[in-house]
Amino acid sequence: MQLTPTEAKARAARILAALQPTVTQWTTAVLDQAVLHLADTGRPFGMNDIRLIAPEDECRKAGLYFAALTGHDALHPNEPQLLRKVGEEPSINPKAHGKKVNVYLLTRAGRKFIKDRQAARTEQRRAA
């Protein structure tokens, strides 16, 4: 059975929502820090850049992390876009065999979202 584009998008959103809990707070903290660092260069960044600076365990879950930030506007249409896709490049991961990976820019709303999330983690540690 062929899904309509709307049905396919809804199915993808459900799958992402179900997988998102597999991204631990530790992975999110590592990737938040990496994304802010890469965004501070002013250049577009993507999975290849993450792969160069983040531990392998976190890299395996970075796709879900990026999907959550780029899909934020699709899942919550009244919220601002957090990551903006600006292109593609071949993956440097040998297992990907040159598959294309997305390249992004972090928006102001995305920077605020990550900074707020970092502040919430800090506050949670202080309260513990």
How much of the chain is helix, strand and coil, in % rounded to 5?
Answer: 65, 15, 25
> What was the pLDDT predicted at 81?
80
User: Which pTM does this prediction carry?
Assistant: 0.74
Inter-residue contact 80 to 109 (CB < 8 Å)? yes
Question: Which secondary-structure segment (H or E) carries 46?
Answer: strand 45-46
Question: Which secondary-structure segment (H or E) carries 101?
Answer: strand 100-106
CA angle, corner 88, sides to 9 and 74, nearest 5?
A: 25
> What was the pLDDT predicted at 26?
84
Per-residue pLDDT of the chain (128 residues; tens, 9 = 90+): 676 777 766 666 565 555 555 557 888 899 999 999 999 999 999 999 999 999 888 888 888 888 888 865 555 667 778 899 999 999 999 988 989 999 999 999 899 999 999 999 889 888 87
> What was the pLDDT predicted at 15?
57
Listed in sequence order, the residues at least 6 apart from 24 whose beta carbon sits closer than 8 Å to its beta carbon are 61
> What was the pLDDT predicted at 41?
95
Buried b (16+ CB within 10 A) or exposed e, 20-43: eeebeeebbebbbebbeebbeeee
> What was the pLDDT predicted at 124?
86
> What was the pLDDT predicted at 72?
57
> What was the pLDDT predicted at 45?
96
Helices (H), 20-107: 25-39, 47-53, 56-70, 72-75
**CATH code of the domain in which 121 resides:** 1.10.10
Count of structural domains, the chain: 1
Inter-residue contact 58 to 39 (CB < 8 Å)? no
Inter-residue contact 3 to 12 (CB < 8 Å)? no
